[in-house]
Amino acid sequence: MPLLRVENLKVEYLIGKGWFRTPLKLTAVNNVSFHIEKAETLGLVGESGCGKSSLAKALVRLEKASSGKIYLNDLDILSLKGENLRKARSQFQMIFQDPYSSLNPRMKIGRALEEVLAIHSKLNKEKRKERVSELLELVGLPASTADRYPHQFSGGQKQRICIARALAVEPQFIVADEPVSALDVSVQAQIINLLQEIQEKTSISYLFIAHDLAVVEHISHRILVMYLGQIVESGNSKEIIENPAHPYTAALISAVPIPDPKLKRKRIILPGDVPSPLNPPTGCPFHPRCPYAIERCKVETPELKPIKDETSHLSACFLSKQLNLKPFTKII
């Protein structure tokens, strides 16, 4: 039984509401379904504006889902209200993209962590302080830093504190929304390694969201590729990177630098821009930019289906079985 199940989730926004205006409907997340197992990291990649953050916030009830279901250990998260929702929040938490704006600049780190414990646990004040020290040491910071303010820390240290805050109530599931994009490359590696170490110790599950496929490949067991609010490909991380089945995935992979001089890769430049979700194209959402699009792509929307029988590698492309999109070639 998966830890998290998402079924046909849709997130919509009304744009331009007013007394004399008819609001436009923007579909940020369009009938998305997936699951996450216990102690698994599921990567989510896609261009800016494709709906990743809207999906992330809907999962932790920071955005309202228009329709669909979210189950955490068979608990219907979307049906929860009031006190029941507050209690359930200890099971799912979020790490935000910007550590600089995620912490109250006027609150000492120890107090910020203790506040979470005061709301979500029954620990007394002494036990809460002990737990704060444990959390700081868990993320590689000395317990003495509890008396410092956020401005006294580097960006990487602030993100460690945000991770400690998310872990404070011992959640089963964490959404990490681009947690390393605002950090230097060397610090990114430290945070990624920290998340993996914590997962080994606690068996926690992550939805890890990022632009950078190289980072996602390193940390994720499986990957979802999102385009214009829809999942266009999903599967094992290695399979996705080495054998992409959707042209959009192949284009994303082609943008990742190759450290191996014995490999070469053709750069795929996609024409045009991502279509507006206020006016999405008919048929396949990717067809206006796809170099392989046929007439069928313009009128029919492909379903997310297995590439082969009895496989977990899924693609929403009519041509997945015919195209050879392998990104790497050996230099002899």
- For 237-273, what is each residue's pLDDT tens digit? 999 988 899 999 999 988 877 776 666 667 788 888 8
Domain-located, residue 133: yes
Asked if the model's pLDDT at residue 331 lies above 50, the reply is no
Cα-only R_g, the chain: 21
Domain-located, residue 79: yes
Alpha-carbon distance of 132 to 114, in angstroms, equals 6
Residues 181 and 253 in one domain: no
Domain-located, residue 97: yes
pLDDT digit string, tens, across residues 205-241: 999 998 888 889 889 999 999 999 999 999 999 999 8
Domain-located, residue 124: yes
**Structure confidence at residue 265 (pLDDT):** 67
Which among 145, 174, 203 is the end of a domain?
203
Alpha-carbon distance of 194 to 19, in angstroms, equals 50
Which among 203, 222, 252 is the end of a domain?
203
Asked if the model's pLDDT at residue 328 lies above 60, the reply is no
**CATH for 193:** 3.40.50.300
pLDDT-derived band at 123, boundaries 50, 70, 90: confident
Domain-located, residue 183: yes
Residues 162 and 277 in one domain: no
What is the percent of the chain where pLDDT is above 90? 61
Domain-located, residue 89: yes
**What residue numbers bound the domain in which 323 lies?**
240-332
Q: Which residue has tokens 């170099």?
A: 291
- Give the number of other Cβ atoms within 10 Å of residue 104's Cβ: 13
Q: What is the pTM of this model?
A: 0.91
Residues 66 and 115 in one domain: yes
**Structure confidence at residue 261 (pLDDT):** 65
Residues 102 and 185 in one domain: yes
The number of helices, as runs of H, and strands, as runs of E, in the chain is 10, 14
Residues 7 and 113 in one domain: yes
- DSSP strand pairing (329-330 vs 263-264): antiparallel
Residues 80 and 148 in one domain: yes
Residues 117 and 70 in one domain: yes
- Give the number of other Cβ atoms within 10 Å of residue 203's Cβ: 12
pLDDT digit string, tens, across residues 286-323: 999 998 999 999 999 999 999 887 678 999 999 888 77
pLDDT digit string, tens, across residues 136-182: 999 989 999 999 999 999 988 999 999 999 999 899 999 999 988 87
Residues 193 and 254 in one domain: no
Query: What are the residue ranges of helices labelled H in the chain?
Result: 52-59, 82-88, 109-120, 125-138, 155-167, 185-202, 213-219, 237-242, 247-254, 295-299
Residues 168 and 315 in one domain: no
Residues 248 and 184 in one domain: no
pLDDT digit string, tens, across residues 82-112: 889 988 988 999 998 888 888 999 999 999 9
Domain-located, residue 40: no
Q: Are 175 and 92 in contact (CB under 8 A)?
A: yes
Residues 5 and 141 in one domain: yes
Q: Are 226 and 33 in contact (CB under 8 A)?
A: no
Q: Report residue 146 as tokens.
A: 């509890």
**Structure confidence at residue 264 (pLDDT):** 67
Q: Are 8 and 31 in contact (CB under 8 A)?
A: yes
Residues 1 and 99 in one domain: yes
Least confident of 9-23, 29-43, 203-217, 283-297: 9-23
- DSSP strand pairing (205-210 vs 4-15): unpaired
Number of compact structural domains in the chain: 2
Domain-located, residue 314: yes
Q: List the beta bridge partners of residue 36.
A: 4
